[in-house]
Structure formats: structure tokens, C-alpha cells
Amino acid sequence: MPQRIVIAKKEVKMSDETRLAHRMSWLLLITVIVWPFVTLAATIIVFCSTKNPYSLSLFPTITIPVVTYLILLLKPLLPMNEKRYHLAEKKLDVKKRRLGH
């Protein structure tokens, strides 16, 4: 059942799937923004407690894979810009031609 949401004095109807995708995209966006700060704090805490310069390599080790994975998850949830839309449209055309439709 669609839920009504008022945005800028406009009433917008959103399905449950759309609401869930919207919430997930915000959650992942917040995670992508907050994660580097968390890993930086963890690196500083580990360095201060161990005084070992090798612990500074912890930051890129933790940050890069997680942020890359989250961005790959986040990309389909975000709306397409015009350039990405046209690229996806061309890819579908090429795929149709290859299949002979």
C-alpha cells in the first residue's frame, strides 16, 4: 500500500519498495561518509597505544575495500544522471542487436 509523504507542500506517493530503496541509499551514503573517519580514529588509537609506525598502514587497509564495496552497493540505488541513462540505453540497444531482436 503506497504511503503518502509531503515534500515541499507536495504530496508524493511512494511504494514500499521505493521507500526501502530510499532508506537504504541514505544509510549507505551516511556509512560511506562516516567510515573513513572511523578508520582514521581507529588508526590513531592503535598508533598511540602501540607507538608502532607500521600501525599507520591500518588506515588504507581498512578504508579502501569497505568504501569500494559500499560504493558498488550504493551506485544502483542512486538516481541516474542523463549521461548514465544514455549509456545504459545504448548498452541495451547493442545487446538487442546482438541477440537479433
pLDDT of residue 61: 78
Has this prediction a pTM greater than 0.85? no
What is the per-residue pLDDT across 23-35, written as a single tens digit (0 to 9) for each?
877 887 788 788 8
- CA-based nearest residue to 26, from 74, 85, 95: 74
What is the per-residue pLDDT across 49-96, written as a single tens digit (0 to 9) for each?
998 888 888 778 777 777 787 778 777 767 777 888 888 899 999 999
pLDDT exceeds cutoff 60 at 2:
no
3-class state of residue 51 by DSSP: coil
Higher pLDDT, 15 or 54: 54
